[in-house]
Amino acid sequence: MRTRHTFTITNPDFKAQLLQWSQQFEEVVWLDSNSHQQHYSTYDTVLAVDAFTCISTDCQQAFDQLQEYQTITKDWIFGYFTYDLKNDIEHLKSEHVDGLDFPELFFFQPKKLFLITGDVVEMQYLKMVDDELESDLKDIAAYKLDQEGTPLTPVNIQMRLTKEQYLEKVNTMLAHIHRGDIYEANFCHEFYAEKTEIDPLETYIKLNTISKAPFAAYFKNHQHYVLCASPERYLTKINQKVISQPIKGTATRSTDTLIDENLKNELQNNPKERSENIMIVDLVRNDLAHTAKKGSVTVEELCAVYTFEQVHQMISTITSEVDANIPPVQIVKTTFPMGSMTGAPKISAMQIIENLEATKRGLYSGSIGYFTPAGDFDFNVIIRSILYNAENRYVSYSVGSAITSKSDPLKEFEECLIKAKAMKEVLEN
């Protein structure tokens, strides 16, 4: 079905030219590790463009439809899961305002695929377009890059909740926790702009330059865009091994090396941050157990602190082994939405989140990634991301934090502002 060609990259601008070249297509998924040497990563950069087939649906029986689509195509498929697919899995609902209006699930089978590892690129083209490969490579090499970049028009960002409203809602969340309804919940709020136009590619490039995140993504589906600088992997499957790497625990960075190291050490030893992380590790272990071989769920790394451009983050790694006959979509379904963006117990946390948040999450705290023909997959967590509907002229980003019994509402608000810093900087220019 696909022809394969490989060559060694000698032009240092090849990746940037490739991303520019991709903009002519209506469907684009660009996944970039930004040279982070993440354990369990298969490729450094991936580009998939131009849908041969696709699936686009609301939440009703979405996972069943995707499983059928994935089984029929037996090919690479790229796309996303929105947070609101929770309503397909549990008796839940999403009734808040939604200015973005994305389909709740979208995947496509690309005609053209580029897989970059180190300085080697493998191109997999469907046979129907294989004769375009040579001209495509010439077109990519001919792209002239603007080293300065296009100046962006500042965007006037509004908060969906005022500071006072945010603090009041966190206190309500704390009351649920103190009553024993939940142990932890991820409470999020939206920053947005209406009647606004942005340059999606330039905005992504600037956001990625600031963040250099290991699970960055640029997504385009006609008028829908995701400009993602995510530091977090949701779930990956390599052969029969499944890996989840939830983030819980955040500290700001400092330009002073000594202060920065102290901030990192404080995060490593912070009992509140560690308890947040461990609660989610327990939740993920339970989620993975639904499809795991008995006794195979393992915590490989607990509360390790990793450093990124904007923040330090506490990350744990949980793995399991699955039988070869378990459908890959089923593994995703039994772990979705990811515990780091919900809370514990998961269903109760999602119900309380829905009652307190003011915006439909949509693609925020969902996931972008791919399935391979062999049934492997890799998906990120859509955080630190700008979402854009060009037709509606609506721009949005959301941030959140984990609320536990030890939470101080004001400090949680300040943590949200730290997480919003890169998106705010890019949009407000």
pLDDT by residue (tens digit) across 95-139? Answer: 999 999 999 999 999 999 999 999 999 999 999 999 999 999 999
pLDDT, position 35: 87
To the query of whether residue 202 is one of the catalytic residues in this protein, the response is no
Say which of 206, 237, 248, 346 is annotated catalytic.
Answer: 248
Summarize pLDDT for 266-323 with one digit per residue, the tens: 999 999 999 999 999 999 999 999 999 999 999 999 999 999 988 999 999 999 999 9
Q: What is the pTM of this model?
A: 0.96
The residue ranges of DSSP E strands in 241-365, in sequence order, are 241-245, 247-252, 298-307, 311-321, 343-344
Say which of 190, 232, 412, 415 is annotated catalytic.
Answer: 232
To the query of whether residue 248 is one of the catalytic residues in this protein, the response is yes
Say if residue 174's pLDDT is above 70.
yes
| Domains annotated on the chain, with CATH | 2-428 (3.60.120.10)
Classify burial at 127, counting beta carbons within 10 Å of its beta carbon; exposed 0-12, middle 13-18, buried 19 or more: exposed
Summarize pLDDT for 221-280 with one digit per residue, the tens: 999 999 999 999 999 999 999 999 999 998 999 999 999 999 999 999 999 999 999 999
Q: Report angle CA 79, 345, 180 to the nearest 5 degrees.
A: 150
Distance CA 381, CA 232 (A): 6
Say if residue 37's pLDDT is above 70.
no
